[in-house]
Chains A and B, each alone.
Chain A
Amino acid sequence: MCREKPHFFPLRPQRPLGGTIKLSSKLRSIQLIITVTFTFVAVLVAVLVSFMLYNKFAKTAEENANLNMQQIIEQVNYNLELYAKGMRNIYEKAEAQITLTPDIGAPMLKERMSTLLESREDLVSVALFTPQGELVLNVPGLEMRHNTQLENQSWYTSPRRTSEISFSAPHIQNLFKSKYTWVVSMSKLIQYREAGVLKTGNLLIDFNFGTIDELSKQVKLGKRGYAYILDSLGNIVYHPQQQLIYAGLKYENVEPVLEYAYRSYLDESTGEKRFITVRTLAETGWKIVGVAYYDEIVTTKRDLNQFLSWFLAVVILCVIIVSVLLSARISSPIRKLERTVKQVGEGDLNTPINVSGAYEVEQLSKRFNLMLQRIRQLMEQIIYEQETKRKGELEVLQSQINPHFLYNTLNSVIRLAERGKTDEVVTMIHSLSKFFRISLSKGKNIITVQEELDHIRHYLVIQSFRFKNKFKYEIHAQDEVLQCQTIKLILQPIVENALYHGIEMMPDEGLISIRAELQNKLIVITIMDNGLGMSKETLSTILTGVCKSGTGSGVGVRNVNERIKLYYGREFGISFESAIEEGTTVTLTFPALVSQELDEEKEGGAQE
């Protein structure tokens, strides 16, 4: 908006054309500095805080997830432990009953076994075999299949190695004619009586996966996490995707699991980070393995991450908006001020500066406005003074050849000549010639006090002829004063006033006394008359220029006063003392200057 201005101010300095200078000064603008600094600090703080928060939260979240998983696995472990214990109890109950029954063929025993079997859904069968593999007892009484190959099955062989109840790996129950089911077998060598004879037999109790499945299914380790069970040899007892693993479509890395009974570790063998927790069942030696996917454990972390990054983005955006607005609010008054000041600098002094904004800016604007007002005042004053000076000079120039005065004087000369008063004519003409010579004084403005006093003396001589000795005059001057400088024609208007207004109307003979003396390096010239004097009112208006004599030589008292003030300074000038019927004393005061250079300088200035 300040672009259109140049034609109005052709003299104003043009903007530098270099783009780099423009850019760098733009970069240093308050707005940009505030924006950048504010944004930088805010963003830095926000980033630091969110980074710390993120780390803290992420760590806590990970620890919690870990702990949670371990607790879940612990819980499953505990439940399975209870389950295995329950199974063992059942086995022991069955064993006790078989051992206590005198004859293995007793229907009572079969009945009890059936009850036992029916009490739990997950029990598949109870059977007692001789060490040779012959069936002794079978509940429920299903027909046995041919070619069962039971001698090779682990439940059949393992009791020979240990006296504890052994739990088999999951296998297909192929003994009895029914559906082929996957079972886990408990077996142990026990004592039984057949017709009173104590024999050793292999008691087999099979249970299916119903309860194990139930217990393990509850495990929720994130969306994809799961738990599986291994037996002590590394066979998978239970797995949520058991069939896939059996079909070879899935693979579970069980080797690192087998090495430890109690462990939590990070597994990367599948290419994905998985967190694995291992617990071991004391009863069966089975291992509960919890698998949680790391990226799900750290879901919180990712959520947090996402949240924080959005949060950061929003914060940064807000900070930028706020800082831009704020800096605009701070800098726009300053910029406005700068623009106005620039306009002022380009010379448009009338530009008003009314910038509102921050307190400082407002104050600055106010002060600047005051300053501008003062400058305007001073400018006006200078213009006024210059005008007055010119006018004064013009008047002086005019008064140098006052035709009225010349006409009057020449009339007087004619009258004297007619009367034949030759001597007086000569004196008059001589004075007139001297008067005009000093009046003109080769166009110089500055003359010596001596010349000025001569000038007034000649004037008084001429006037004394005209006023027919109506007054007397005396001129006293100190010798030091005579060579001092003065502006010319400062006494004549005052003396003229004294004559025309003070003495002419006076019945008595008047006296005009002129003194020039040096006081404290000041020239003081007093013109005293004993004429009519002035009233206080007249006295007060005399210098303001309201009253101006119509008949004078044209150079008024005011003119003299102003010329003195303009040349020498405000503190100098004319003062009046007057009383009605007493007379008037006019005092001119101005500095005593002798220097020739100053004289010439002043002269030069005046002639310009």
Chain B
Amino acid sequence: MMNKRFWLILFCCAAAGFALNSCISSPPDYISTAKTRSVHMIVKMSRGDYWNTVKLGAEAAAQEFNVKLTFKAPDSESDVDEQIAMVENAIDEKADVIVLAASSYMGLAQVVDKAAVFNKIPVISVDAEVGSARVSTYIGSNGYEAGQKSAERLIKLLDAHGEIGIINFTSSTENAQSVSSTAIDYGARDADEREKGFLNYAARYPDIHVVEIAYTPSNIANAEELTRQMLNQHPRLRGIATLNETGSQGAAKAIQQLGLKGIRMVAFDSSPSMMELLQDGTVQATVVQNPFSNGYLAIKHAVEILEGIKVPERVDTGTKIIDLDNMLWPENQKLLFPFVR
């Protein structure tokens, strides 16, 4: 009887002690960085300033939130199979989260479903959406709006009349030819949206004619060649709109080399070389996204998903038209030139 009471008292005290302890040592209220998470980030391409800046943002977040970041990208933006293989690989390596910038809207849908449904790996799409309902969140800019902004500026530069050529990009060259005929959209979602936005805006102006849309597999040399062809075929071309970074650089290079001062060009994205072109007047304006934010937020939200924090379904990091006048505004400086140490 005495023994029973003794143990009872002992037990009560121990319990009280534990309660006291657990009360005092409750965890602090911020994203815990105690555990190292493995996040695989797969983007469209290993080259290009745009993706570098995305990577910078991701790395900044990875460092901040104690994430082991595995950054992968195919050599070419059109290499959908390689990208699928990379997602498969990330699944095999048991990534905690996969961050994906899909080169093909439908091409990667299946593998994303596989990761999200069968392997319970959250998938975040960044920059370009993917055709899966299982994606946790999308972080990037609104392509349609970006296209419209580009069109608006170019049409303004051309005083609302003249021929316009578009250099766009998509996943593969073979699909490029049949993009309008096939029901299934194999192109990259962002390219598609931008084009749609541009054309829809341009359609409001009867004197504006979009004479050609060329598709480049994200290769500067190829884009340059396409631009030359376009300029040759359409000698009355007054304006060129490019819808991605490599395309912009290629097109700008062609214009610069041909010395065509009369061509107005609205580019896309903000690489340092694009800034040079902007400053020396080859390019009149560029639509910039927020690659650093995209990379950073993708990783941050990945950690938040792992922590069980609810993340928004869609994060629009915004686009902006930059021209010579506003490129040195302090807030644009900060946006255009990554503060790299």
Which residues of A line the B interface, CB within 8 A? 31, 35, 145-149, 152-153, 169, 171-172, 174, 177, 179-180, 182, 209, 213, 235, 241-244, 246-249, 272, 295, 302, 305-306, 309-310, 312-313, 316-317, 320-321, 324, 328
Task: Judge whether B279 and A243 touch: CB under 8 Å.
Answer: no
With contacts A241-B64, A249-B293 known, what are 20 further pairs, Cβ within 8 A?
A145-B279, A146-B280, A146-B281, A148-B279, A149-B324, A172-B333, A174-B279, A180-B337, A235-B330, A246-B334, A246-B339, A247-B293, A247-B335, A248-B293, A272-B29, A302-B24, A306-B21, A312-B17, A324-B6, A324-B9
Contacts A146-B281, A305-B24 given; indicate if A153 touches B328 (C-beta within 8 A): yes
Residues of B within 8 A of A302 (CB): 24-25
A154, closest chain B residue (CB): B330
Q: Is the CB of B21 within 8 A of A242?
A: no
- Closest chain B residue to A31 by CB distance? B2
Return 26 A-B CB contacts under 8 Å, by A number: A145-B276, A145-B280, A146-B279, A146-B280, A147-B280, A147-B324, A169-B330, A172-B336, A174-B328, A177-B276, A180-B275, A243-B60, A246-B339, A247-B290, A247-B293, A247-B334, A305-B25, A306-B21, A306-B25, A309-B24, A313-B14, A317-B13, A317-B14, A320-B10, A320-B13, A324-B9
User: Beta-carbon contacts of B120-162 to A below 8 Å, as 1s and 0s?
Assistant: 0000000000000000000000000000000000000000000
Complex: A217 Cα to B15 Cα, angstroms: 46
Of listed A35, A243, A249, A316, residue having the most chain B CB within 10 A = A243
Within 8 A of A (CB), among B17-73: 17-18, 20-21, 24-25, 28-30, 56-57, 60, 64
Q: Which residues 260-296 of B have a CB within 8 angstroms of A?
A: 272, 275-276, 279-281, 290, 292-293, 296
Q: Is the CB of B290 within 8 A of A172?
A: no
- Give B308 Cβ to nearest chain A Cβ, in Å: 19
Q: Is the CB of B30 within 8 A of A272?
A: yes
With A153-B328, A243-B60, A247-B290 already in contact, the answer to whether A317 and B10 are too (CB < 8 A) is yes
Supposing A246-B334, A306-B21, A312-B17 touch, asked if A182 and B29 sit within 8 A by C-beta, the answer is no
Residues 1-14 of B, flagged 1 when their CB comes within 8 A of A and 0 if not, give 01000100110011
**How far apart are the CA atoms of A320 and B28 in the complex, in Å?**
34
A436 to B182, CA, bound (A): 156
Interface residue B297 (Cβ < 8 Å from any Cβ of A):
yes
Give the distance in Å from the alpha carbon of A180 to the alpha carbon of B21 in the complex.
55
- Using a CB–CB cutoff of 8 Å, the interface residues on chain B facing chain A are 2, 6, 9-10, 13-14, 16-18, 20-21, 24-25, 28-30, 56-57, 60, 64, 272, 275-276, 279-281, 290, 292-293, 296-297, 324, 328, 330, 333-341
* Pairwise interchain contact A213-B334, C-beta atoms closer than 8 A: no
B328 partner residues in chain A, CB cutoff 8 A: 149, 152-153, 171-172, 174
Q: Find the A residue at minimum CB distance from B272.
A: A180
Q: Is the CB of A316 within 8 A of B333?
A: no
Partner of B17, one of A272, A317, A324: A317
Q: When the two chains form their complex, are residues A172 and B29 in contact, meaning their CB atoms are under 8 A apart? A: no
B22 closest partner in A (C-beta): A309
| Neighbouring B residues of A31 by C-beta, 8 Å | 2
A36 to chain B, nearest CB (A): 10
Q: How far is the CB of A244 from chain B (nearest CB, A)?
A: 6
Tell me the complex Cα distance, A152–B325, Å: 11
Known: A180-B275, A243-B60, A247-B334. A328 touches B2 (CB 8 A): yes
Minimum CB–CB distance from B19 to chain A (whole Å) comes to: 10
User: Which residues from A are CB-within-8-Å of B279?
Assistant: 145-148, 174
Given contacts A169-B330, A249-B296, A320-B10, whether A241 and B324 have CB atoms under 8 Å apart is no
Instruction: Considering the complex, give the chain B residue whose CB is closest to the CB of A302.
Output: B25
B280: chain A residues within 8 A (beta carbon)? 145-147
Distance A312 CA – B296 CA, assembled complex (angstroms): 45
Instruction: Kindly state the separation between the CA atoms of A313 and B18 in the bound complex, as whole angstroms.
Output: 8
- Chain B residue nearest in CB terms to A179: B272
**Is B9 a contact of A244 with CB atoms below 8 Å?**
no
* Contact, CB under 8 Å: A172 / B337: yes
CA distance A530 to B304 in the complex (A): 133
How long is the Cα–Cα vector from A228 to B192 in the complex, in angstroms? 43
Q: In the complex, what's the smallest C-beta–C-beta distance from B70 to chain A, in angstroms?
A: 22
Once the chains are docked, how many angstroms separate the CA of A248 from the CA of B17?
46
Q: How far is the CB of A47 from chain B (nearest CB, A)?
A: 11
Least Cβ distance of A224 to chain B in Å?
A: 9
Chain B residue numbers with a CB within 8 Å of A246 are: 334-335, 339
- Judge whether B60 and A241 touch: CB under 8 Å: yes
A359-B60 Cα distance, complex, nearest whole Å: 76
Is A313 within 8 A of B56, CB to CB? no
CA distance A160 to B145 in the complex (A): 43
Residues on B with C-beta less than 8 A from A272 are 29-30
Q: Which residues of B sit under 8 angstroms from A328, Cβ to Cβ?
A: 2
Q: How far is the CA of A241 from the CA of B296 in the complex (A)?
A: 12
Closest 6 CB pairs of A and B: A313-B17, A246-B334, A243-B339, A242-B339, A172-B333, A247-B293
Assembled-state Cα–Cα distance A35/B57 (Å): 64
Q: CA A534 – CA B6 in complex, angstroms?
A: 78
Q: Do A247 and B292 touch across chains, with their CB atoms under 8 A apart?
A: yes
Interface core residue of A246, A272, A328 (most chain B CB under 10 Å): A246
Contact of B21 among A146, A148, A313 (CB under 8 A): A313
- Cα A479 to Cα B333 in complex, Å, equals 151
Least CB distance, B24 to chain A, in whole angstroms = 5
Contact B20 A309 (CB under 8 A): yes
